[in-house]
Structure 1
Amino acid sequence: MSSSSRIVGRTLARCQALQLLFQAEACGRSVADVLAGDYVLSEGPLVEYGEQLARGTDEHRAELDHVLSGAARNWSISRMSATDRNLLRVALYEILFEDDVDKAVSIDECVELAKAFGSSDESSRFVNGVLGRVAADIDNGVDVIEVARKNYEDSAAELASAAYGDEVDREYAPEEGFTPEHEDFYDGDYKASDVPEWAREGE
């Protein structure tokens, strides 16, 4: 991001978290591993809340992806662009695990970042729709994490039953926390060229 469009405060933190999560996913490592080595930020140094968001989102990724898979409607996590899915993860982490951040603020910030960094002109509308559905469920008293986990377990059991027969026991369903979308999206070592231009600016 150029100096003419500098961002500050929690907006900067969210942008930094997005870049750290993107780099972690691109090289198949955890955010902790990325932070322990060389990483790229368009604007630095890394602020405390940016690191908190990146680490927290990474640690709760399985739960976040369960929720997003249900809210995305006909869009699997793997079909989303890397930028869009990590933006959604950051915003959803804030909504579910950061008590001092209002849901509307997290959604608005995610929409604005999608306008700036999203994969297409539709990115902002897409993330707004997904997060809006999650927020509406929360406002209606739904435990979105528990519901998403239950839906995943039921789906996994159905897949296992289809593959191995009706007698399959739920304990043989895929291990909790794993979904096909959690497989590495990229193979090989991390290279600077793996990072989009917006993440490389300011090196």
Structure 2
Amino acid sequence: MGTRRKARECSLHMLYAVDNCNVPIESIYNSFAVYFPKGEAYRMFALDLFKGVCDNKEDLDSLIKQCAKNWEIERMAAVDRNIIRLATYEIMATTNIPIRVIIDEAVEISKKYSTKDSSKFVNGILDKLKKIRTQKNQKNLE
């Protein structure tokens, strides 16, 4: 497993703690320091993902709602919800990582941390999000 995946998993753990266990965002950094992947770049990658999701949660949830027909975000499994938020942030905020890689990473993480059907659910929503990002990029080029 690559170090970037470890960073994504670390971000997922932090998001889960905030979302499901009511851990204050401010206390997360110290609590999860032991889980950070080795290397400053990867530690920063994990923190940037976590902070990006926390800072943009409402916008991310709005995008997810567009892609998750007949699903309320609050009713999604907490792990799935946070994997999707994490990948949504990464898809919308980064341009140096191919979208397919981000989606594949999210699917693999869902296989590890959630149910056997979660990977299909995560993939389906993120695939729809990929189309939104592609359309947005095309409009920006026009």
Residues 23 and 39 in structure 1, CA contact (< 8 A), matched pair in contact too: no
The equivalent residue for 1:110 is 106
Give the 3-state SS of the residue equivalent to 1:47 in structure 2: helix
Bigger Cα displacement from structure 2, 22-31 vs 101-110? 22-31
Residues 72 and 130 in structure 1, CA contact (< 8 A), matched pair in contact too: yes
Distance 1:66 1:30 in 2: 23
Residues 67 and 125 in structure 2, CA contact (< 8 A), matched pair in contact too: yes
Does the alignment pair 1:62 with 2:58?
Answer: yes
Mark the CA change 1:8 to 1:43 in structure 2 (over 3 Å): closer, same or farther. Answer: farther
| TM-aligned CA deviation for residue 27 of structure 1 | 3.2
The equivalent residue for 1:91 is 87
Selected match of 1:18 from 6, 12, 23: 12
| TM-aligned CA deviation for residue 69 of structure 1 | 1.1
Distance 1:63 1:53 in 2: 15
The equivalent residue for 2:131 is 136
Does the alignment pair 1:8 with 2:2?
Answer: yes
| TM-aligned CA deviation for residue 101 of structure 1 | 1.5
Give the 3-state SS of the residue equivalent to 1:140 in structure 2: helix
Name the structure with the higher helix share.
2
Aligned pairs for 1:1-203 within 5 A: 7-35=1-29, 37-39=30-32, 44=37, 47-118=43-114, 120-141=115-136
Mark the CA change 1:79 to 1:92 in structure 2 (over 3 Å): closer, same or farther. Answer: same
> Normalized against structure 2, the TM-score is what?
0.84
Give the 3-state SS of the residue equivalent to 1:74 in structure 2: coil
Distance 2:18 2:33 in 1: 11
The root-mean-square deviation of aligned C-alpha atoms, in Å, is 2.2
Mark the CA change 1:39 to 1:10 in structure 2 (over 3 Å): closer, same or farther. Answer: closer
The equivalent residue for 1:200 is none
Aligned partner of 2:102: which letter? S
Aligned partner of 2:77: which letter? S
Aligned partner of 1:140: which letter? Q
| TM-aligned CA deviation for residue 20 of structure 1 | 0.4
The runs of 5 or more residues in structure 2 that have no matched partner are none
Distance 1:133 1:57 in 2: 19
Give the 3-state SS of the residue equivalent to 1:141 in structure 2: helix
Residues 19 and 41 in structure 1, CA contact (< 8 A), matched pair in contact too: no
The one of the two structures with greater contact order (alpha-carbon pairs below 8 A, sep at least 6) is 1
Distance 1:44 1:30 in 2: 22
The runs of 5 or more residues in structure 1 that have no matched partner are 1-6, 144-203
